[in-house]
Amino acid sequence: MSERAYPGEVIRAAEVPLLGAGAPLMERAATALALYSAAALRARGRAARDRRVAGSRVCVLAGPGNNAGDALFAAASLARGGAQVSIVLLFDRTHDEGLRAARRAGARAIDLAAVPAADALETLRRADLVLDGILGTGGRRGLPAHITGLIRDWRRGGPTPGTVIAVDVPSDLDPADPETAGERIHADHTVTFGGLKAELIDPRVRRFTGRVHVVDIGLDLDAARAAAEVMVGPDLAADFPRPRADDHKYSRGVLGVVAGSATYPGAGVLTTTSAVGSGIGMVRYLGAASVADRVLTHHPEVVTAEGAVDALVMGSGDPEDEFVAPALEAIADTDVPLVLDAGSLALVGDDAAALTGRPVVLTPHAGELARLLSRLLGEDVSASRITADPLGWARRAASRTGHIVLLKGGSTVIACPDGYAVLPESGPPSLATAGSGDVLSGIIGSLLAGAHARATRRGAEPGESLDDRTIARTLGLAVLVHNAAGSRCVNAGQLATAVGDVVEGLLHPDPSASDSPR
Ligand SMILES: NC(=O)C1=CN([C@@H]2O[C@H](COP(=O)(O)OP(=O)(O)OC[C@H]3O[C@@H](n4cnc5c(N)ncnc54)[C@H](OP(=O)(O)O)[C@@H]3O)[C@@H](O)[C@H]2O)[C@@H](O)CC1
Ligand SMILES: [K+]
């Protein structure tokens, strides 16, 4: 389920009162790490004899602080389970209590200052499991040369059989420096304690963290201090809004769509198809008459008359100005969310009154964001720079424009102007196809219209109805719908229709698929 990510200092601060009260935080962390490590050892190898803790070779890279303490206590537990544990002491000090516990359980220690580096290297290469306990949240960037050299030689030797688990965080994690990537720990798993650290969610660090597993050690974290939120598939079933028995079409939300043009009529059809399928009260198609005819052929329930809306989505398929301007005019005195895609991104930066006093969502892909930022920042921002750091650029764009930015790509990211981010899990690569973005626009518009209608029903004041985090989370749900639909199809026409199938499954789950006894 979704997981909030916190700045490291927020998590460290939350530990302080508990440590003062004597809570056994390290014991909890080390116990969870030992269990996770044992499971990783049992998951390896083909032969049954390889899938055991007893007899497996475990190597601990031990640093100078409490991060090593976690690794050493966990290793002690694995040693008691029969693992052969070797500890590579990388500094002139380590966590003494942890070292004593590991030694008592039978671990042997190799002091890198006293033995040839080749011995440590050999131990690393032969290990079934390596625990990176060099540095944790107390780490500064840049490891001493004798450690980077060891890591470089270990990695240069080619793939080794061992699973690498980073304890709390991969030591010396640095997303931005490709030059030194070969001297850093590349973990298969990161077991992180207390809460998800914000530094672990950046798409650029995935190759260093591997799969991230969060262990609850009983910290009381204040959700208001979270920096981001990661959303995963199961969030859909939990949070997708369902209609209530007393709902009517207006209370479920009305979406205005200005998409498609005489040149690109298909965008209008794709956007309305996915909007209709996303479980909304009503869709008003407000674009060109020639597109409206096609839309109505596919969806007779779509309304082409002007009228009130709860959200307006525009821009896919470059709709003509003569339809954009009146649609913006019609929402001028309202607080309804506005979604700008493709051609309508050109409105950003203008003094358009319609862009003020309401939540505005921009949904560019990297090329569109590159054009937008180059214009706004007055410097040449290329699409490849944006693709290399999607979260960083989405945050920059949100901060610069004051709008919520959903940057589409292999790892779609959503950023609010204050830096808060929502990261939905990645969808299938088949989503990279013409028209896919139009389909996403329709889902987004539909879910935002529903959210606005519900907020209005609750009596929220204009301007207070939808806060940025609620909107960002709603966008995250829309991306999860898009992902789920994407795994059922090979082109955007099928994708738009599959949205309806996904939502149908959420609103009317198949009772025969339930686990309940018959
Ligand atoms: N608090 C708790 O109860 C719990 C903590 N837990 C665990 O503790 C971890 C945090 O522990 P920690 O604070 O001891 O920091 P950690 O990163 O192990 O080492 C700091 C030492 O490294 C040194 N150093 C730093 N950077 C360096 C560099 N680049 N190159 C060389 N040296 C460098 C630094 O030196 P200094 O900066 O002081 O000069 C200092 O001596 C946390 O991630 C989690 O795993 C969990 O068990 C839950 C309960
Ligand atoms: K570590």
Tell me if 253 is assigned to a ligand binding site: no
Which strands make up the sheet holding 282-285, listed edge to edge?
A: 196-197, 3-6, 228-231, 421-424, 413-415, 404-407, 360-362, 338-340, 311-314, 254-258, 282-285
Expressed in angstroms and rounded, the spacing between residue 306 Cα and the centre of ligand 1 is 62
Which pLDDT score is estimated for 159?
75
Mean per-residue pLDDT of the chain = 93
Which pLDDT score is estimated for 514?
54
Expressed in angstroms and rounded, the spacing between residue 341 Cα and the centre of ligand 2 is 41
Which pLDDT score is estimated for 175?
84
Give the torsion through C-alpha atoms of 430, 436, 442, 445, to 10 deg. Answer: 90
Which pLDDT score is estimated for 84?
97
Q: What predicted TM-score, i.e. pTM, was given to this entire model? A: 0.92
Which pLDDT score is estimated for 270?
97
Query: 10-55, pLDDT tens digit by residue?
Result: 999 999 999 999 999 999 999 999 999 999 999 987 777 778 999 9
What ligand has the least distance to the C-alpha of 98?
A: 1
The reply to whether ligand 1 has any atom less than 6 angstroms from the CB of 11 is: no
What ligand has the least distance to the C-alpha of 169?
A: 2
Tell me if 66 is assigned to a ligand binding site: no
Tell me if 141 is assigned to a ligand binding site: yes
Instruction: Tell me the β-bridge partners of 60.
Output: 87, 131
The reply to whether ligand 1 has any atom less than 6 angstroms from the CB of 133 is: no
Which pLDDT score is estimated for 462?
61
The answer to whether 408 touches 365, Cβ cutoff 8 Å, is yes
Residue of 419, 424, 428 lying closest to 447 (CA atoms): 424
User: From the centroid of its chain, how far is CA 269?
Assistant: 29
Return the number of other C-beta atoms located less than 10 Å from residue 117's C-beta: 13
Q: Which of 92, 95, 135 to mutate to test the pocket of ligand 1 (most atoms within 8 A of CB)?
A: 135
Residue of 359, 480, 11, 41 lying closest to 214 (CA atoms): 11
Residue of 209, 228, 111 lying closest to 165 (CA atoms): 209
Residue nearest to atom 47 of ligand 1 (CA): 26
3-state secondary structure of 161: coil
The reply to whether ligand 1 has any atom less than 6 angstroms from the CB of 8 is: no
What ligand has the least distance to the C-alpha of 21?
A: 1
Tell me how far apart the alpha carbons of residues 143 and 150 are, in angstroms, rounded to a whole number: 11
Expressed in angstroms and rounded, the spacing between residue 89 Cα and the centre of ligand 1 is 15
The reply to whether ligand 1 has any atom less than 6 angstroms from the CB of 195 is: no
Residue nearest to atom 9 of ligand 1 (CA): 67
Average pLDDT over residues 377-398: 96
3-state secondary structure of 424: strand
The reply to whether ligand 1 has any atom less than 6 angstroms from the CB of 142 is: yes
Report the interhelical angle of 25-42 vs 66-80 (nearest 10°): 50
Tell me if 260 is assigned to a ligand binding site: no
Average pLDDT over residues 66-85: 97
The reply to whether ligand 1 has any atom less than 6 angstroms from the CB of 171 is: no
Which pLDDT score is estimated for 463?
54
Query: 185-209, pLDDT tens digit by residue?
Result: 999 999 999 999 999 999 999 999 9
Domains defined for the chain, CATH in brackets:
3-226 (3.40.50.10260), 234-505 (3.40.1190.20)
Tell me if 409 is assigned to a ligand binding site: yes
What ligand has the least distance to the C-alpha of 63?
A: 1
Which is the closest atom of ligand 1 to the Cα of 26?
Answer: 47
Average pLDDT over residues 143-158: 91
Tell me how far apart the alpha carbons of residues 340 and 363 are, in angstroms, rounded to a whole number: 6
Residue nearest to atom 15 of ligand 1 (CA): 138
What ligand has the least distance to the C-alpha of 65?
A: 1
Backbone angles phi, psi at 215, to 5 degrees: -110, 125
What ligand has the least distance to the C-alpha of 32?
A: 1
Tell me if 233 is assigned to a ligand binding site: no
Which pLDDT score is estimated for 180?
83
Expressed in angstroms and rounded, the spacing between residue 190 Cα and the centre of ligand 1 is 16
Q: How far is CA 443 from CA 137, 219, 298, 438, in A?
A: 39, 36, 17, 9
Tell me if 290 is assigned to a ligand binding site: no
The reply to whether ligand 1 has any atom less than 6 angstroms from the CB of 174 is: no
Residue of 302, 319, 193, 296 lying closest to 256 (CA atoms): 302
Tell me how far apart the alpha carbons of residues 498 and 274 are, in angstroms, rounded to a whole number: 8
Tell me if 410 is assigned to a ligand binding site: yes
Neighbours of ion ligand 2 (CB under 5 A): 67, 132, 167, 171
Contacts of 172 (CB under 8 A, 6+ apart): 134, 135, 139, 141, 142, 143, 184, 185
Instruction: Tell me the β-bridge partners of 407.
Output: 413
Tell me if 138 is assigned to a ligand binding site: yes
The reply to whether ligand 1 has any atom less than 6 angstroms from the CB of 235 is: no
User: Higher pLDDT residue, 161 or 350?
Assistant: 161
Alpha helices in 117-264 (DSSP H): 117-126, 145-156, 206-209, 234-239
Query: 442-483, pLDDT tens digit by residue?
Result: 999 999 999 999 988 877 766 567 899 999 999 999 999 999
The reply to whether ligand 1 has any atom less than 6 angstroms from the CB of 411 is: no
The reply to whether ligand 1 has any atom less than 6 angstroms from the CB of 26 is: yes
Assigned token pair, 75: 């290793």
Average pLDDT over residues 88-92: 96
Tell me how far apart the alpha carbons of residues 415 and 240 are, in angstroms, rounded to a whole number: 21
Tell me if 267 is assigned to a ligand binding site: yes
User: Higher pLDDT residue, 178 or 392?
Assistant: 392
Q: Which of 67, 197, 221 to mutate to test the pocket of ligand 1 (most atoms within 8 A of CB)?
A: 67
Portion of the chain with pLDDT greater than 70, in percent: 97
The reply to whether ligand 1 has any atom less than 6 angstroms from the CB of 29 is: yes
Instruction: Tell me the β-bridge partners of 314.
Output: 258, 340
* Strand (E) or helix (H) holding 110: strand 108-111
**pLDDT grade, residue 517 (50/70/90)?**
very low
